[in-house]
Amino acid sequence: MTVKQYYQDAYVKGFQTSIQDQKQDQSGWYVVLEETAFYPTGGGQPHDTGTIMDKRIINVEEVNGEIRHYIEEPFEDISGVVEGQIDWKRRFDHMQQHAGQHILSAAFAEALQYETISFHLGKEFLTIDLNVNDISEADALQAEELANRIIREVRPIETKWVTEAELSDYPLRKQPAVTGEIRLVIIPEFDYNGCGGTHPRSTSEVGAIKILDWEKHKGHIRLQFVCGERVLYQLHRKHGILKELTSVLQAPEETMVPTAEQLIAKQKEQEKALEGLKEVLLTYEAEGLLGVQKDGFTLIQKVYSDRPIQELQKIAQHIVSKREEAVVMLVVQNDQKLQLVAAKGSLPAINLREVAQKVFPLINGKGGGKESFVQGGGEAVMSKEELLEILINQL
């Protein structure tokens, strides 16, 4: 088996060979084999994993024409015949996804003249980038349908080595980047591609193709899809979530969306109602605060912990709107912050802004407002009671 051969027969799961060399690079220990069936990362397809004798192959990379099989620890003895085993579940999954990508890209080109400009084979799903700005649901369905028809028609997937001169005999969508002898992957009368990846013998082995979603990405459309076993996995997982939601929402699949929409609308309504009730409660709270008589005004004061300053504003505003002779001083401590609100009715001849400006520097704080209403805050370098006392002494 030469390096070329593992491309030609993608179905080799186990093989015998010998170890040519054992070396180390920055990625770790690796062996080079006389012949190999392990696929190295390349052409958008991830590397194989598996074993050589009792050693796990954790990565396979091609570096300067050398295929490096990375192992967790080196062999003590590299002489004699060794047995290699490909992790077939992983490899066959890659074959299904990779060939599925050929088929879906060709379907988009055939049905809609949308060209694939790049693709990625991820752990969960694949993506292709199409050279269009937008795509409709109907477009996606049309390409998906054609792709699945090609799968059902059990078309052969053939590989052929050709010279550069022979390339013009084939209707390739894209000129291969490599020169010299070129490997073509052919689905007759449907797709002709220069490709070095591993493929099943027929389209039927891809099983099925399902487009999941798409989004705009750098002026193109990035489309997510799955092939083969991954279609079943997605169905299983998504159905599991739907089943759980059926019991959470107490609604069957068919009415799940309107049920969820109703719940969210109801929640928003309740939040609004709660907001209104809070306002009412704050006015009662404001009216319950008692004042003490001073020279020409009534002083109403209070300290709080852990309350939004907006509530203090509302309390103060409510009081001074009802009582023209009132001066209100409220202080709250929220964590390491001290905040204050001061307000007055129309009668007392006091400039609250001037009062507060004298106090803010004492708590390394700042604030603002007008003569009749001021607010601000700073650091809790003193207690809230102390701050209130200092404020009142300024009156």
The nearer residue to Zn ion, 31 or 195, going by C-beta atoms, is 195
Pick from 151, 97, 95: which is nearest to 127 by CA?
Answer: 97
Distances (CA, A) of 395 to 11, 358, 388: 92, 11, 11
The nearer residue to Zn ion, 71 or 195, going by C-beta atoms, is 195
Write phi, then psi, for 87 (nearest 5 degrees).
Answer: -70, 95
The nearer residue to Zn ion, 197 or 378, going by C-beta atoms, is 197
Stretch of 190-198, 230-238, 244-252, 261-269 contacting Zn ion, by CB under 5 A = 190-198
What 3-state DSSP class applies to 372?
A: coil
* Cβ neighbours of residue 274 closer than 8 Å, sequence gap 6 or more: none
User: What minimum distance in Å lies between the beta carbon of 228 and Zn ion?
Assistant: 15
User: What minimum distance in Å lies between the beta carbon of 147 and Zn ion?
Assistant: 15
User: What minimum distance in Å lies between the beta carbon of 136 and Zn ion?
Assistant: 28
State both tokens at 84. 């290699």
Q: Under a CB-based contact definition with an 8 Å cutoff, are residues 303 and 315 in contact?
A: no
Whole-number Å distance between alpha carbons of 278 and 177:
69
Stretch of 13-21, 108-116, 181-189, 228-236 contacting Zn ion, by CB under 5 A = 181-189
The site string for Zn ion over 140-179 (x = CB under 5 A, - otherwise) reads ----------------------------------------
What 3-state DSSP class applies to 89?
A: helix
Q: Under a CB-based contact definition with an 8 Å cutoff, are residues 297 and 350 in contact?
A: yes
Which residue lies nearest Zn ion, judged by its C-beta?
195
Stretch of 23-31, 128-136, 196-204, 224-232 contacting Zn ion, by CB under 5 A = 196-204
The nearer residue to Zn ion, 60 or 184, going by C-beta atoms, is 184
Stretch of 187-195, 319-327, 333-341, 344-352 contacting Zn ion, by CB under 5 A = 187-195
Per the document, the length of the chain is: 395
The site string for Zn ion over 69-108 (x = CB under 5 A, - otherwise) reads ----------------------------------------
The nearer residue to Zn ion, 43 or 276, going by C-beta atoms, is 43
User: What minimum distance in Å lies between the beta carbon of 159 and Zn ion?
Assistant: 9
46 binds Zn ion (CB under 5 A): no
Pick from 36, 25, 77: which is nearest to 54 by CA?
Answer: 77
**What is the number of other CB atoms lying within 10 angstroms of the CB of residue 146?**
20
Q: Sign of torsion, CA 207 211 212 215?
A: positive
The site string for Zn ion over 288-307 (x = CB under 5 A, - otherwise) reads --------------------
197 binds Zn ion (CB under 5 A): yes
195 binds Zn ion (CB under 5 A): yes
State both tokens at 185. 């992957």
340 binds Zn ion (CB under 5 A): no
Q: What HEC string does 54-73 produce?
A: CEEEEEEEEECCEEEEEECC
User: What minimum distance in Å lies between the beta carbon of 128 and Zn ion?
Assistant: 13
Q: Which residue has the tokens 């939040």?
A: 271
Binding residues for Zn ion, per CB under 5 A? 185, 195, 197
